Amino acid sequence: MNGSPLTTEFCGLKFNSPIVLLSGCVGFGNEYTRVEGFSNADAGAIVCKGTTLKPRLGNTGHRLWETAGGMLNAIGLQNPGVDAVVRDIAPNLDYSEVCWFANICGSTVEEYAEVARRFDDTPMQGMEINISCPNVREGGVAFGNDPDMSARVVEACRAVTSKPLIAKLSPNQTDIAENARRCLEAGADGLAVINTLMGMAIDAESRRPVIGNVQGGLSGPAIKPLALLKVHQTYQVARKHNAPIIGQGGIMNGADAIEFLLAGATAVGVGTALFYDPLVCRKINAEIEDYLGKNHIANVSELTGALRLDSGLENSPVSG
């Protein structure tokens, strides 16, 4: 590829950087633009806040809680509804410096499809399907924890749009590689691996859960080792379909990002790190570019799946 060594291709789209700003962390792209020195152009793509068919107020507090290794969140998909996003927000985004993805949510297959259909008639370049939402017709079980339901959601969305579809996979399931296969065969163009893990925090003095919803999604450095493994596992499936992966879960610096790329990611998602340092993307880009230079690598895409599976333990001081 010509130009910057950080330029990469994802589902036919050109990213300035392999960094993707994750859904819910920058709202609809305007939260961090108020931070001096921040630029959307430091990322390759932005995934907008999860959007449902109707407006949602979200959960009552507490909705965020910092943990020793990251953050718990239970926002509850607070958003103004797809009509407001399509009418008032999507037309006013700056598409000249970064790619934009809608994040679509629903409580039934039909709702997912309708939200996807509405976003199809916008300038947004793609859509991420949040299949971790609960299926109200199946007693609240998350779509993303059942490969059959995951595939049905992807298939329904694929029928109403030709834009790139990214299936956001849950780690809270038995076989993520099988779910990845089913989503890709149903029409997904790429994968986002992983969504948050379920966790909780307790106030010992009151003996009550800290999060008003009792449980919340755990993100941040605590989940990085598991996220890396899930990216590696899904990459074995994704490469057979020539499908790219957004690797995400605890990326705080350039070294973390490089690990996800080596495990099989084409792009890397940054979310919780933004709460620690709103300007972290620029630093991650610089650290990746420095790594490429030191290793005489022309483009960041050469790192994808370049993991060496020979352990090298024969030369380790702890071997034997």
Q: Which residues are catalytic?
A: 133
Angstrom distance (rounded) from CA 113 to CA 70: 33
HSE of 217 in the Cβ direction (CA atoms, 13 Å)? Answer: 21
**Interacting residues of 127 by C-beta distance below 8 A, sequence separation 6+:** 101, 102, 103, 104, 116, 119, 157, 161, 163, 164, 165, 166
